Amino acid sequence: MTLMYCGLELDRAANRRGDRAWLEEVRASARVLPLWRDKCLVGATCETSDFEVFLGMDGDTAVFAADLSTMELAATGASEAVDVRRLFGTISAEEAATLAYARGILHWNRNQRFCGACGGATESREGGHLRACQECSKLLFPRIEPAVIVLVESPVAPKVLLGRPQKGGFCTLAGFVEIGESLEDAVRREVFEEAGVVVGDVRYQASQAWPFPSGLMVGFRATAVSEEFTVDGVELAEAKWFTPDELRAEYPCTVDSIEGHLVREWLATA
């Protein structure tokens, strides 16, 4: 199955978006998605702004995202501004993927207006997929922040370890990848830091675009070397091994994140 916010069907046309004349030509008959401060606009009448990003081609139709963030909400004509995650279950996976992509790329542009090296202003290039510093010429590419999410399995029985943060319910263990780590290194470190569990085998399962604002979730299964654990008391308040029946009874498998996918896949074979 396709995970939410993935499986974009647009052709990104990455090899053409550096051609300004072509972008102007396809813009004339484009479909434009208006967004406002990371949110989707319901019923917006204003669909043009001073900043637009080329998302890709839907057949012969170009699709752009327009950032209306500098306007007051009322001026956009929209009745409401909602986060794409709130539309989960009411729109198709394809629509969700396009809106999430639009949200992420507009967020990056809005937050990369200045160069991190010299502080100079940056300008948009490549239809909004690259910014160049006007002072030092440094090229800035959209940044993606990978995080690992891991379902830890028991070495002796069909059980998985979930942790409960200080606020909220039980969930899989997860954390950001640090500089100098492989994805597998990050899995081992996070599981040990949060739950005091050493894992042996680490197996990649799937990944999910998570542009809220710039994540990439990479899902793994890992096998603990024993069922002993010690929570850190900071990130996790407690942890618990769940049998398949306990998991079915207590875990909300309907979540839109890859976490739900990892749990459902495990339950299907447990």
Q: Would you give the binding string for Zn ion spanning residues 194-213, x where CB under 5 A is met? A: --------------------
Q: Rule CB under 5 A: choose which of 135, 201, 227, 245 binds Zn ion.
A: 135
The C-alpha atoms of residue 93 and residue 40 are separated, in whole angstroms, by: 15
The yes or no reply on residue 25 touching Zn ion (CB under 5 A) is no
DSSP 8-class letter at 79: S
Q: What value, to the nearest 5°, has the Cα angle with vertex 218 and ends 212 and 222?
A: 140
The 8-class DSSP code of residue 194 comes to H
- Selected binder of Zn ion within 85, 110, 138, 240 (CB under 5 A): 138
Q: Which part of the chain contacts Zn ion (CB under 5 A), choosing from 100-108, 138-146, 182-190, 230-238?
A: 138-146
- CA 6, CA 213: separation in Å to the nearest integer? 15
Segment contacting Zn ion by CB under 5 A, of 75-83, 107-115, 171-179, 222-230: 107-115
- Work out whether 117 is an interface residue with Zn ion (CB under 5 A): yes
Supply the minimum distance, in Å, between the C-beta of residue 137 and Zn ion: 7
- Identify which of residues 12 and 138 has a Cβ nearer to Zn ion in the complex: 138
Could you give the CA distance from residue 195 to residue 57 in angstroms, rounded to a whole number? Answer: 46
SS3 label, residue 41 = strand
The two tokens of residue 212 are 């809220």
Distances (CA, A) of 117 to 112, 120, 126, 208: 12, 8, 21, 31
Closest approach of Cβ 183 to Zn ion, in Å? Answer: 31
- Which CB atom, from 13 or from 132, has the smaller least distance to Zn ion? 132
Q: How far is the CB of 136 from Zn ion (least distance, A)?
A: 3
Q: Is 115 in the site for Zn ion (CB under 5 A)?
A: yes
CB 33 within 8 A of CB 55: yes
Contact between residue 214 and residue 107 where contact means Cβ atoms under 8 Å apart: yes
Contact 24, 52 (CB under 8 A): no
Question: What is the distance between the terminal CA atoms of the chain, rounded to a whole angstrom?
Answer: 19
Nearer to Zn ion, 120 or 213 (CB): 120
Nearer to Zn ion, 25 or 135 (CB): 135
Nearest distance from C-beta of residue 112 to Zn ion, angstroms? 11
Is 122 or 257 the residue whose CB approaches Zn ion more closely?
A: 122
Max Cα distance, the chain (Å): 63
Among 77, 120, 146, 158, binds Zn ion (CB under 5 A): 120
Q: In angstroms, what is the minimal distance from the CB of 132 to Zn ion?
A: 9
Which residues in this chain contact Zn ion in the complex, by CB under 5 A? Answer: 115, 117-118, 120, 133, 135-136, 138
